[in-house]
Amino acid sequence: MATKSFHRTDRVSAQLRRDIGLIVHQAVREYGLPSVSVSDVEVTRDLAHAKVFVTALLAEQGPAAVKALKEIAPELRYRLGQAIRMRHVPEIHFHYDDSVDKGERIDQLLRDNPPSDATD
């Protein structure tokens, strides 16, 4: 018998990433929040909590955007409950994903300090 390559939490995470992404996009427009996008969602094994990682278009607006999303998280959870077919809707916890910022910083450092040729 072949083993499953994806666990239920992986499938739920992927679905939540799509649905929460749409809900956050709507919230950004409705509330005039800084522009953010959902980069990843991790759910606990019991599916009770979802860590939602967001990235901001402008890095300096990231903390303000996460703070605003945390304030409206209960409403976003309610909207999520209307969008998905799950018995229990996970509690949403927003976190800023700084991996894109770190990648841009590394890229900038590499552009500013190109490697010297090894043929001396």
pLDDT per position as a tens digit, 87-108: 899 999 999 988 877 777 888 8
Of residues 70 and 120, which shows the higher confidence score?
70
Q: Taking 80 as the threshold, does the pLDDT of residue 61 lie above it?
A: yes
* The predicted structure's pLDDT at residue 1: 46
- Judged against a pLDDT cut of 80, whether residue 24 lies above it is answered with yes
- The token pair at 92 is 């949403």
Average pLDDT for 100-118: 77
Is the per-residue pLDDT at 3 higher than 80? no
The confidence score (pLDDT) of residue 78 equals: 95
Give the global pTM: 0.79
Q: Which residue has the higher pLDDT, 29 or 2?
A: 29
CA pair distance 23, 29, nearest whole angstrom: 10
Q: What is the pLDDT of residue 5?
A: 52
Go through 67-91 and write b for each residue having 16 or more CB atoms within 10 A of its CB, e for each that does not: ebbeebbeebbebbeebeeeeebbe
Q: Give helix then strand counts, H and E, for the chain.
A: 4, 3
Cα–Cα distance, 24 to 29 (Å, whole number): 9
* Inter-residue contact 36 to 54 (CB < 8 Å): yes
